[in-house]
Structure 1
Amino acid sequence: MENITLLIGIVIVTALVFDFTNGFHDTANAMATTISTGALKPKTAVAMSAVLNLVGAFLSVEVAATISKGIVDESGIRPEIIFAGLVGAIVWNLLTWLAGLPSSSSHALFGGLIGATIASVGMDAVHGDAVVMKVLIPAVVAPIVAGLATVLATRLTYRLARNTDPEASAKGYRAGQIASAALVSLAHGTNDAQKTMGIITLALISGGALGADADPPLWVIASAGIAIALGTYLGGWRIIRTLGKGLADIQPPQGFAAQTGAAVTILASSHIGFALSTTQVCSGAVMGAGMGRKGGVVRWSTAGRMLAAWGLTLPAAGLVGAGAALLADQGDWGVATVAVLAVAVCGAIWLASRRKPVTHDNVNELDTADAEPAGVVTTALQAVAPPPAGPVPAPAAAAHREPERAPAAATG
C-alpha cells in the first residue's frame, strides 16, 4: 500500500509538471496577437493571462470529467500507466516548444495516455467512440469553424471601420484586444487546467483514493489552476513569436476578431465537455484573420509545419507513452528509469533552447531565416483582393513590403 501511495504522489507531481508545461506552451493562444500588435507589453500580458487562467480553473469541471471518465476505462488503469502517459505528453510539449510550433498540449496528453493504456492493458481499455466524438472530431472541426468565423469577423470589422480615422480606431481595437485576450485566458483556464484535474482524479480513482464516479476534489482544482498559471506567467516566448509574427501579419482589428472568435469557440466547447485544443482553435483564428483582411499575409509554409505537428502529436506522444509504460510495468526500477530518462530528455531540450534564446525582450523580432515569404496562396489572394490604397507614401510602402521579399531571395 505504501508503494501505491508513493506512486500516486509521483503521478500527481508529474501531472502538475505537465500542467506547468501546458501553461507556457499555450500562453501564445491568448496573448500572441496582443503582444505582436503592441496592445500590451509582453510581461504585463502574461501576468494578466496567468491570473485569468487560475480563475478559469474554478469555473467548470466538465472537461475534467471527460478525461477521468470518458477516454479510457478507469477500472483497468494503474498509476504506472498514467505516469507513462504524462511523460509522453511532457516530452512532446517540450520538443514542439523548442521548435516554436504551437501544437496541442491536449492531444499530447490524450496521445500519451492512450498509447500507455494500449501498451499496458490493450485496445479494449480505450473508449474508441469517446476518442472519436470528443477528441478527433472537435480537433478537425474547431479550427475550421474558428478560422471561418474570424474571416467573416475580420471583414466585417474593416467594413464597419472603413470611414473612421485609422489611428483612432487602432487604439480602440487594441483596447478590445485586451478584453478579448482576457476572455481567451479565462476560457483556457476552464478548458486546459481541467485536463490535469481529470488526470489527477483518474490517478486517485486508480489507487482507490476516490470512488469511480468522483469529481475532482477542491485541492486538485486549486493545484492544477496554480500550476498552469505559473507556467503561463513564465511565457512560452518561442511559440508566442511564431503565432504572433511568424504565421500572419496581424493588425489590431484582426487581433480583436481572432481572439473573440477563439474565446467563443473554447467557452462553448468547455460548456458541453469537448476537450478541444485551444492551440488549434487560436491558430485557426489567426490564419482566418490573415485571410480576412485585404492584402493580409498568411505564411503557409509555417502553417504547413504546424499542421504536420498537429497530425504527429497523438501518435508521437502515444509512442513515447507506450514505451514508458512497457518500462514502468517492470516494477519500481522501471518507474525510476522512466523518471530519470524523462528528466534527462527535458534537460537536454532546455540546454538546446539556450543556444538561441527567445525572451520577452526579442519576442517580436523575427530573424531573416524566420521571416518567411507569404507564399503562392497568399500572393494569389492578394491579386484577387489587393490591399486598399492608403496614405502611406510609396517609399514607406516599399520598405514595409521588403521583409516579405528578402527571405525569398535568400532561399532561392
Structure 2
Amino acid sequence: MGTVSFLIVVVIVTALAFDFTNGFHDTANSMATSIATGALAPRVAVAVAGVLNLLGAFLSTEVAKTISNGIVDDARVSAVMIFAGLVGAILWNLVTWLLGLPSSSSHALFGGLIGAVWVGAGMSAVNAGEVLEKIVIPAVASPVVACVVAMLATYLAYVITRRTRRDKVKRGFRAGQVGSASLVALAHGTNDAQKTMGVITLTLISGGLLAPGSGPPWWVVLSAGLAIALGTYVGGWRIIRTMGKGLTDIQTPQGFAAETSATSVILASSHMGFALSTTQVCTGSILGAGLGRKLAHVRWGVAGRIAVSWVLTLPAAAAVGGVAAWVADHGDLGVALVAGVAVAAAAGFYLLSRRRPVNADNVNDTRPGAPEPSPAGQSAR
C-alpha cells in the first residue's frame, strides 16, 4: 500500500471544493419550483435540501463505482490528472453559476477528468465505451424522458382537479411539493455526492492506498455528503431564479409534477449506476411541466441558451482540464500555478457576482430593474 502524499491531500481537498460548488450549483434542481410557487420559503428550502443531500449520500455507491472504475483506466491515472480535471470542473461550474445557467456539474466533472487523462496518459486511457454508455446516452435520453413524464403528469394533474376549487388545488399541491421537493433533494444526494466519492476513491487507488476496483471508504462517503450538503445550504440563487422563473411560469400542480417526475428518473438511474446529470433531468421536467399546462408555454430562448451550455460543458471542461494537466505535470511549481490561477479565478467570479447579487430575498423578484432571472437578462414576466 502507498503512503499519503501532499499531492493526494491537495487532490482530496480540491475534490471536496468541487463537491461544494456542485451543491450550490445544483440547489435549484430540487428547490427552484417550490421556491417559485411559494411552497417553501427560500432559506427553509435550501436547509431542507442540504440535510436530505447528506442523507442521500449514504443510500448507494453504484455511481461512485462507475466513476472510480469505469470512465478512465485507473491504473494509468495520476493524482496530477485528477487534480487538473477537478480544476476544469470547478471553473466551469463557477462560470455557469455567474451566468445563471443550469448546466451539468456532473458533465463538467467528467469533461475535466477526461481532458486531463487524455493529455496526461493518452486517448487510450479513456474508456470510450463506458463514456458513451454511462454518460453520453443518459445525457441525451434523461432530459427527454423527464420532459415527457412531467408533461403527462402535469396534464393529468390539471384534468383530475379541473372541477376542484382553485384555492383547494393550490393548497393541496403546495403541501405535496414539500414532499416531492424533498425527494428530489434526497435523490440528488444519491447521485451527485457519489461523483466526488468516485473521484476521491480513484485518487486513493492511483496512489496505491486502495486496491483497484475498491468502493469508497466510509470517511469518503461522509466527507462528500457533508461538502455537498454545505454547498446546497449556501444556495445557488442565480440558477434557482432561472429554473424557477426563467423557463416557464410554474404553478403548484406543475411544480409537484416536475419534482415527482425528476425523482423517479434520478432514483432509477442511481440504482442502475448511470451517472446522469440531475440538472438536465430537473430542467427537462420543468420544461415538460410548462408544456403540460399549455402547449409551448415555455420561454424557448432561455431553453435554447441552456441547451447550448449543455453541449459546451463536456468539451469546455475537458479543454481546461487538459491545459491544467499539462501545466501541473511540470512538478510542484506547475501544481501551485494551477491552484493559484483557480483560486484567483474563483475570487474574480465571486466579485463579479456581487455587482448584481441574487439572494434569498430577491430570488423571486420580477420587478423592473431586478437582477436578470435568465442568462440573457430576460425578465420572468
Identify whether the pair has TM-score above 0.5, normalized to the shorter chain: yes
For 1:69 and 1:164, locate their aligned partners in 2 and report how far apart those are by CA, in whole Å: 52
Instruction: Please report how far the alpha carbon of residue 367 of structure 1 lies from its aligned counterpart in structure 2 after TM superposition.
Output: 5.6
Instruction: Please report how far the alpha carbon of residue 366 of structure 1 lies from its aligned counterpart in structure 2 after TM superposition.
Output: 3.0
Match of 2:293 in 1: 293
Residues 367, 309 of structure 1: alpha-carbon distance in 2 compared, 3 angstrom cutoff: farther
Where does 1:323-342 land on structure 2 (aligned, <5 Å)? 323-342=323-342
Structure 2: which amino acid aligns with 1:247?
L
Where does 1:335-374 land on structure 2 (aligned, <5 Å)? 335-366=335-366, 368=368, 370=372
Where does 1:310-325 land on structure 2 (aligned, <5 Å)? 310-325=310-325
Instruction: Please report how far the alpha carbon of residue 365 of structure 1 lies from its aligned counterpart in structure 2 after TM superposition.
Output: 1.2
Could you give the per-residue CA deviations for residues 271-309 of structure 1, whole angstroms, max 9, x where no partner exists?
000000000000000000001003673111000110000
The structure whose RCO (Cα within 8 Å, separation 6+) is larger is: 2
Match of 2:176 in 1: 176
For 2:272 and 2:225, locate their aligned partners in 1 and report how far apart those are by CA, in whole Å: 20
Residues 59, 266 of structure 1: alpha-carbon distance in 2 compared, 3 angstrom cutoff: same
Task: Tell me if the contact between 1:89 and 1:111 (Cα under 8 Å) persists in the aligned partners.
Answer: yes
Task: Tell me if the contact between 1:85 and 1:111 (Cα under 8 Å) persists in the aligned partners.
Answer: yes
Where does 1:162-173 land on structure 2 (aligned, <5 Å)? 162-173=162-173
Residues 2, 135 of structure 1: alpha-carbon distance in 2 compared, 3 angstrom cutoff: closer
For 1:371 and 1:30, locate their aligned partners in 2 and report how far apart those are by CA, in whole Å: 18
Whether 1:158 and 2:128 are equivalent positions in the alignment is no
For 2:47 and 2:164, locate their aligned partners in 1 and report how far apart those are by CA, in whole Å: 33
Residues 278, 35 of structure 1: alpha-carbon distance in 2 compared, 3 angstrom cutoff: same
Count, aligned residues: 375
For 1:295 and 1:364, locate their aligned partners in 2 and report how far apart those are by CA, in whole Å: 24
Match of 2:263 in 1: 263
Match of 2:117 in 1: 117
Match of 1:19 in 2: 19
Structure 1: which amino acid aligns with 2:9?
G
Structure 2: which amino acid aligns with 1:149?
V
Could you give the per-residue CA deviations for residues 218-263 of structure 1, whole angstroms, max 9, x where no partner exists?
0000000000000000000000000000111000000000000000
Structure 2: which amino acid aligns with 1:355?
R
User: Larger deviation: 1-10 or 52-61?
Assistant: 1-10
Instruction: Please report how far the alpha carbon of residue 40 of structure 1 lies from its aligned counterpart in structure 2 after TM superposition.
Output: 0.5
For 1:85 and 1:115, locate their aligned partners in 2 and report how far apart those are by CA, in whole Å: 7
Structure 1: which amino acid aligns with 2:208?
G
Could you give the per-residue CA deviations for residues 337-389 of structure 1, whole angstroms, max 9, x where no partner exists?
000010011111111000000000000013658478xxxxxxxxxxxxxxxxx
Whether 1:139 and 2:139 are equivalent positions in the alignment is yes
Partner SS, residue 71 of structure 1: coil
Match of 1:45 in 2: 45
TM-score (norm 2): 0.96
For 1:179 and 1:403, locate their aligned partners in 2 and report how far apart those are by CA, in whole Å: 26
Residues 131, 173 of structure 1: alpha-carbon distance in 2 compared, 3 angstrom cutoff: same
For 1:316 and 1:365, locate their aligned partners in 2 and report how far apart those are by CA, in whole Å: 32
Match of 2:108 in 1: 108
Task: Tell me if the contact between 1:249 and 1:296 (Cα under 8 Å) persists in the aligned partners.
Answer: no
Whether 1:54 and 2:35 are equivalent positions in the alignment is no
Residues 297, 86 of structure 1: alpha-carbon distance in 2 compared, 3 angstrom cutoff: same
Match of 2:78 in 1: 78
For 2:278 and 2:294, locate their aligned partners in 1 and report how far apart those are by CA, in whole Å: 26
For 1:340 and 1:354, locate their aligned partners in 2 and report how far apart those are by CA, in whole Å: 22
For 1:213 and 1:353, locate their aligned partners in 2 and report how far apart those are by CA, in whole Å: 41
Residues 342, 38 of structure 1: alpha-carbon distance in 2 compared, 3 angstrom cutoff: same
Instruction: Please report how far the alpha carbon of residue 135 of structure 1 lies from its aligned counterpart in structure 2 after TM superposition.
Output: 0.1
Where does 1:367-386 land on structure 2 (aligned, <5 Å)? 368=368, 370=372
Match of 1:387 in 2: none
Task: Tell me if the contact between 2:147 and 2:286 (Cα under 8 Å) persists in the aligned partners.
Answer: yes
Structure 1: which amino acid aligns with 2:121?
V
For 1:299 and 1:235, locate their aligned partners in 2 and report how far apart those are by CA, in whole Å: 24
Structure 2: which amino acid aligns with 1:252?
T
Partner SS, residue 70 of structure 2: helix
Structure 1: which amino acid aligns with 2:19?
D
Task: Tell me if the contact between 2:104 and 2:279 (Cα under 8 Å) persists in the aligned partners.
Answer: yes
Instruction: Please report how far the alpha carbon of residue 61 of structure 1 lies from its aligned counterpart in structure 2 after TM superposition.
Output: 0.2
Partner SS, residue 5 of structure 2: helix
Match of 1:383 in 2: none
Residues 333, 2 of structure 1: alpha-carbon distance in 2 compared, 3 angstrom cutoff: farther
For 2:229 and 2:260, locate their aligned partners in 1 and report how far apart those are by CA, in whole Å: 21
Structure 1: which amino acid aligns with 2:77?
I
For 2:227 and 2:296, locate their aligned partners in 1 and report how far apart those are by CA, in whole Å: 37
Instruction: Please report how far the alpha carbon of residue 4 of structure 1 lies from its aligned counterpart in structure 2 after TM superposition.
Output: 6.2
Instruction: Please report how far the alpha carbon of residue 213 of structure 1 lies from its aligned counterpart in structure 2 after TM superposition.
Output: 1.2
For 1:52 and 1:256, locate their aligned partners in 2 and report how far apart those are by CA, in whole Å: 18
* 5+ residue gaps, structure 2: none
For 2:366 and 2:320, locate their aligned partners in 1 and report how far apart those are by CA, in whole Å: 32
For 1:74 and 1:162, locate their aligned partners in 2 and report how far apart those are by CA, in whole Å: 56
Structure 2: which amino acid aligns with 1:10?
V
For 1:157 and 1:167, locate their aligned partners in 2 and report how far apart those are by CA, in whole Å: 15
Partner SS, residue 314 of structure 1: helix
The alignment yields a C-alpha RMSD, in angstroms, of 1.6
